[in-house]
Amino acid sequence: MTAVIRTDPLGFIANELADLRARHLYRSLRVMSSAQGPDVEVDGRACVSFSSNDYLGLTHHPRLRAAALAAVEAFGVGSGAVRTIAGTMALHEELEATLARFKGTEAVLSFPSGFSANTGVIPTIAGEADLIVSDSLNHASIIDGMRLSKAPRVVYPHADVGALRELLVRARTDGRSDGAGAHRLILIVTDGVFSMDGDIAPLPGIVAAAEEFGAAVMVDDAHASGVLGRAGRGSVDHFGLHGRVAIQVGTLSKAVGVLGGYVAGSRDLRDLLIQRSRPFLFSTSAPPAVAAACLEAIHVLEEEPALHERLWANTRRFKAELGRLGFDTGASETPITPVMMGDSTTAGRFSDRLFDEGIFAQPIVFPTVALDKARIRTIVTAAHTDAHLDRALGAFDRIGHELGLIAG
Ligand SMILES: *Cc1c(COP(=O)(O)O)cnc(C)c1O
């Protein structure tokens, strides 16, 4: 008989968790028992939320609710299959046609999420013969999309068009004495709005460089969908670059208020994604209520411009007043306003104190941002009233003094 030595093969998990706690990098989930909105109940406490991506308050908009309920009544709760087998409903096609018209592109294909749109499109169009050129602060789903692709990749320093151009000069002559270009495709990928800093990608410079070097541009407009451009058409519309950005990724999970992602571009791009994109081919399509609510959201964007105006008025006021209080709010140009804290311990303590005062604003720490760039990330929405903003500004002022982040 040999002795059986019992060890827990997953014992390392507890060690990893202990390590995260020791470094103040452990995240616990705050649980919301109310609907999403500016007034929420989180962990049993009523508070004003600055943590959602619900930019226009569409998560609970009456028109979206009604559209979702009607779709449940008519079509049930699930789509029952992947798109390529039996899961393509008329609602999916109508949503995509509406989005294509809204975005001003030939075609749109929807995905289960923005995350899967990125991991679906990048490996489908870029392979070994190609090169991906990526901003250093691009979203995790772009990074994972690149990892799933066989294409080599190079990273340029955040928003640095000069450095991007140098990479393109090198890429053009890479391995080729005649300088005719070694790559079938050079794909430049950038977030439209950077999710942790709220700055806008220098898209006009990126597009000009791409055109000069024969590269294609892909922009991930997750935080720009519903926020930038006319009626929230995104960063391409914001900069007037229609027809010059080959691939636009968008999300239906943030300002659109529901769930899903999409790729907007040419009819051929859509067609190739249907043939080859794995998250599209192997994941069930959106439930009818989700597609119907997203469709209604696009109509709301076009028909209720007051929501968009309120979002931007709140954004301007909140940023200006945080700056006046003496906080460093970084380079944000959008409703995402980071309030810089430095280390993760201060960020955690600040967020806990805000929560004590009924303000729900999450700390963002490593590895989402660099170790010394911990911050409280705030997002104002169209649903915040002046009274909501006043309450938050009062709390930021008090706690900022208490923790020595602001003087005076
Ligand atoms: C949130 C986000 C995504 C993912 O979108 P989901 O629809 O939530 O999966 C992709 N890219 C960026 C830049 C994002 O901020």
User: Can 134 be counted among the known catalytic residues?
Assistant: no
Query: Does the beta carbon of 38 lie inside 6 Å of ligand 1?
Result: no
User: Can 195 be counted among the known catalytic residues?
Assistant: yes
Segment 210-229 mean pLDDT: 97
Q: For residue range 141-190, list pLDDT tens digits in order.
A: 999 999 999 999 999 999 999 999 999 999 987 655 554 557 999 999 99
What's the pLDDT band for 371 if we cut at 50, 70, 90? confident
Nearest of 139, 88, 159 to residue 254 by alpha carbon: 139
Per-residue confidence (pLDDT) for residue 19, from 0 to 100: 96
Per-residue confidence (pLDDT) for residue 387, from 0 to 100: 98
Query: Does the beta carbon of 222 lie inside 6 Å of ligand 1?
Result: yes
Per-residue confidence (pLDDT) for residue 1, from 0 to 100: 60
- Cα 84 to Cα 284: distance, rounded to the nearest angstrom: 9
How would you write 256-303 as a 3-class SS string?
Answer: CCCCCEEEEECHHHHHHHHHHCHHHHCCECCCHHHHHHHHHHHHHHHH
Nearest of 93, 150, 154, 143 to residue 118 by alpha carbon: 143
Nearest CA to ligand 1 atom 6: 114
Nearest CA to ligand 1 atom 12: 222
Query: Does the beta carbon of 235 lie inside 6 Å of ligand 1?
Result: no
Per-residue confidence (pLDDT) for residue 3, from 0 to 100: 73
- pLDDT above 70 for 100: yes
User: Can 254 be counted among the known catalytic residues?
Assistant: yes
Catalytic residue among 195, 277, 285, 332: 195
Domains delineated in the chain: 26-55+305-402 (3.90.1150.10), 61-303 (3.40.640.10)
Positions of E strands within 141-293: 153-156, 186-191, 216-220, 247-251, 261-265
> What's this model's pTM, rounded to 2 decimal places?
0.94
Q: For residue range 305-345, list pLDDT tens digits in order.
A: 999 999 999 999 999 999 999 999 999 999 999 999 999 89
Give the number of residues written for the chain: 408
For residue 275, how many other CB atoms are within 10 A of its CB? 10
Nearest 5°: the CA angle 204, 205, 211 is 90
Catalytic residue among 254, 308, 319, 388: 254
